[in-house]
Structure 1
Amino acid sequence: MKSPLGKMLRLTAAALSLGLCAGAYAEPVAHFDFITHAPDSDAWWNTVKNGIKQADADFNVQTDYRNPPNGDVADMVQLINQAAARNYDGVVTTIADYDLLKGAVSKLKAKNIPFITANTGTEQQSADLGALMHVGQPEYLAGKEAGLRAKADGVKTFLCVNHYATNPLSFERCRGFGDAIGADSKASTLDVGTDPTGIESKVSAYLRSHPNTQAVLTLGPTSADPTIRAVNKLGLAGKIWFATFDIDSDVAKAIKDGTVRFCTDQQPYLQGYIPIAMLAIMHRSHNADIAAARKELEKDPKFIKHLQEYGLKPVYEARNISSGPGFITPQNIEQVSALAGRYR
């Protein structure tokens, strides 16, 4: 008869063995930091976080996602200073305000911490900061491409609903759209803040006092969702030309029912996945050659599988990778809406 003590010792030894084996494989090979300007209330960034999480799993790394809770760009400075002090293996940061952030980012460079910029900011700003590369959507180009579609429909006047005017580059979307249709973007832009009730009220008031407004452009779900409600309550759904940036379930529904013509898509999943994957590949190979790392990523079977599963299409350039602009229309909304908020 086997003694209870012997059985307990064998079980303990087995558990320790499994734990050691699991630990040997689960221990991350690198620790990265991903810093954004987004407030906690902005659910759009959940898709970016999903991309980060998947890249962590695919490349066996650990990434901290950090952001100023209220979206205060000044607080980003402290987050970047902390990243430099903590000696992360790599950092990803948005460029919400180039002039405000460049001093803090220089500390990363001084400590030879490799970093990549993502989402907002221009490719030139990224290069000037000393980043390895930029992964994002050229904002002016995205606005202009949307505007060219409006121009083809005869649109000459518009309202740009800007819910994150604290980010200077947000105005590039409005400016690109205005330039495309020949309208003054400054006079056509409304700073609405982030409170849904306030946004709906401000948009409603503007459209009542400017009845000749032909089009509405919103810069993301935070402003799109309340604007959809405003347009519906005013009886303008399907009558006023309406387009937006980025998708969520409300935007998807509005595209299906004809309230919103299309959504300009910057493929946020890629903005989370690609920077972490690139840092991981370079860390693993001890090689800062961005071109070589990109070639390896392009051939990575897990990455290819994600692109196919989620219908994603990055644009590879000489140095950077563009995640947009793409367009979500009534023709492809069914495929995309099933993934909205998670992978699209």
Structure 2
Amino acid sequence: MRRVARLIAAVAVLAFSLHAAADARFVVVTHAPDADPFWNVVKSGIRDAEKDFGVSADYRNPPNGDLADMTRLLEQAGARNYDGVATTIADLDVVARPVKAIVVRGVPVITFNSGTAKQSESLGALMHIGQPEYEAGKEAGQRAKAAGVKSFLCVNNNVTNPESFERCRGFAEAIGADFKKATLDSGNDPIEVENKVFATLHERPGTQAVLALGPTSAVPALRAVQKLGLTGKIYFATFDLTPEVDQAIQAGTVAFAIDQQPYLQGYIPIALLAIMKRDNNRDVGKACATLAADPKFKGHLETYGLTPHFGPAGVDTGPGFVTRDNVRTVEKYAGQYR
């Protein structure tokens, strides 16, 4: 009789937990403008996590990337009784007040993509998921240095995000260059990016390399390089992947792309928030262990060739490097899952 009672109780607890997870509503707030294709891959991760864990997640972003608009979106998120919030740290000073207000309300917050584990902790968030930007830039610079690069142009299309400069700084310090002199505020408009890169390289004929901070700047920068007759003559690298970047890598025009696995940046925050809601436990270590063992998650990793690194302060999703040697492995998923 006691066994039956225990079994009934266990089933009831399981049913309650599943019901709690199914009812969970989360929100993802980012700094990303609508025009940036990088975030389509993040959204794929969010959608798959919703489906795998039976939860819903709203996606909110400022259409033009305006950080004041992002602040308002965070304030709205705090007032709408979500079960959890995932947000980027586009600028610590800008997002600190609304994020801390959400934390004070008792809502679990996970930061991802932009920002650092230290910044995340200062906000009261549970953890940070993303790529350490300085280290990514430095590793990219070390590859360039091995190829003989001593000077470069860093094409920054996201200057409103302080962490973006860490990519330029890491690359510069690896090759022994001055990152401030090397950094170009390119803007986001493709024609503007192309014109600025063209003009800068024309004025600095000794520039040996170009580092673009994403496809938004990489694709028009490649056009500028072509117009200058430098295709194949100047060392070119970029952060992040799109089908156009993949084709350029295959052609040898781009040496490599730094891959921060954006799919994981969308999937993991929602999955962890869902697990913690379901289990009524905010132990990050336990939630990460549960996710790492989840069959559906492991299936996605195998299918798309993804590798997260779970650590004590969060999850590193990069840097990885896509070169001519491995680009065909990720080509068919570029723009959607890679």
Q: What's the TM-score once normalised by structure 2's chain length?
A: 0.93
The ranges of structure 1 where at least 4 consecutive aligned residues each deviate by more than 6 angstroms after the TM superposition are: none
How far, CA to CA, are the matches of 1:123 and 1:290 in structure 2?
A: 13
Tell me how far 1:166 sits from its aligned partner. 0.9
Tell me how far 1:43 sits from its aligned partner. 1.6
Asked whether the equivalents of residues 50 and 342 of structure 1 are also in contact (C-alpha less than 8 Å), the reply is yes
**Match of residue 305, structure 1, among 278, 282, 299:** 299
Structure 1 SS opposite 2:70: helix
The answer on 1:316 being equivalent to 2:310 is: yes
How far, CA to CA, are the matches of 2:108 and 2:87 in structure 1?
A: 11
Asked whether the equivalents of residues 141 and 172 of structure 2 are also in contact (C-alpha less than 8 Å), the reply is yes
Tell me how far 1:319 sits from its aligned partner. 2.4
Matched residue, 2:8: none
**Match of residue 193, structure 2, among 199, 202, 209:** 199
How far, CA to CA, are the matches of 2:154 and 2:139 in structure 1?
A: 15
Identity of aligned residues (%): 59
The answer on 1:190 being equivalent to 2:184 is: yes
- How do 1:161-180 residues align onto structure 2 when only pairs under 5 Å count? 161-180=155-174
**Match of residue 268, structure 1, among 262, 271, 277:** 262
Matched residue, 2:71: 77
- How do 1:16-55 residues align onto structure 2 when only pairs under 5 Å count? 28-55=22-49
Structure 1 SS opposite 2:110: strand
**Match of residue 284, structure 1, among 271, 278, 298:** 278
Structure 2 SS opposite 1:217: strand
How far, CA to CA, are the matches of 2:22 and 2:311 in structure 1?
A: 30
How far, CA to CA, are the matches of 2:181 and 2:241 in structure 1?
A: 26
Provide the aligned length of Structure 1 versus Structure 2: 320
How far, CA to CA, are the matches of 1:71 and 1:310 in structure 2?
A: 29
Tell me how far 1:78 sits from its aligned partner. 0.8
Bigger radius of gyration among the two:
1
The answer on 1:102 being equivalent to 2:77 is: no
Tell me how far 1:111 sits from its aligned partner. 0.4
Tell me how far 1:29 sits from its aligned partner. 2.2
**Match of residue 65, structure 1, among 36, 59, 62:** 59
In the TM superposition, what whole-angstrom CA distance separates every residue of 1:74-122 from its partner, at most 9, and x where no partner exists? 1111111111111100000000000111011111111000010000001
**Match of residue 148, structure 2, among 140, 154, 161:** 154
Asked whether the equivalents of residues 117 and 313 of structure 2 are also in contact (C-alpha less than 8 Å), the reply is no
The answer on 1:225 being equivalent to 2:219 is: yes
Matched residue, 2:115: 121
In the TM superposition, what whole-angstrom CA distance separates every residue of 1:168-218 from its partner, at most 9, and x where no partner exists? 110000000001111000000000100101111110111111000000000
In the TM superposition, what whole-angstrom CA distance separates every residue of 1:16-45 from its partner, at most 9, and x where no partner exists? xxxxxxxx99x9420000000001111210
The answer on 1:216 being equivalent to 2:171 is: no
How far, CA to CA, are the matches of 2:88 and 2:22 in structure 1?
A: 24
Structure 1 SS opposite 2:37: coil
Asked whether the equivalents of residues 237 and 258 of structure 1 are also in contact (C-alpha less than 8 Å), the reply is no
Asked whether the equivalents of residues 38 and 335 of structure 2 are also in contact (C-alpha less than 8 Å), the reply is yes
How far, CA to CA, are the matches of 1:135 and 1:196 in structure 2?
A: 29
How far, CA to CA, are the matches of 1:319 and 1:59 in structure 2?
A: 23
Moved more, 230-239 or 96-105: 230-239
Asked whether the equivalents of residues 213 and 238 of structure 2 are also in contact (C-alpha less than 8 Å), the reply is yes
The answer on 1:247 being equivalent to 2:247 is: no
How far, CA to CA, are the matches of 2:310 and 2:142 in structure 1?
A: 23
How far, CA to CA, are the matches of 2:130 and 2:27 in structure 1?
A: 17
How far, CA to CA, are the matches of 1:138 and 1:43 in structure 2?
A: 21
Structure 2 counterpart of 1:310, one-letter code: Y
Gaps of 5+ in 1: 1-23
Structure 1 counterpart of 2:175, one-letter code: I
How far, CA to CA, are the matches of 1:102 and 1:270 in structure 2?
A: 24
How far, CA to CA, are the matches of 1:331 and 1:29 in structure 2?
A: 45
In the TM superposition, what whole-angstrom CA distance separates every residue of 1:253-289 from its partner, at most 9, and x where no partner exists? 1101111000000000000000000000000000011
Alignment RMSD (CA, Å): 1.1
Tell me how far 1:229 sits from its aligned partner. 1.1
**Match of residue 138, structure 2, among 140, 144, 148:** 144
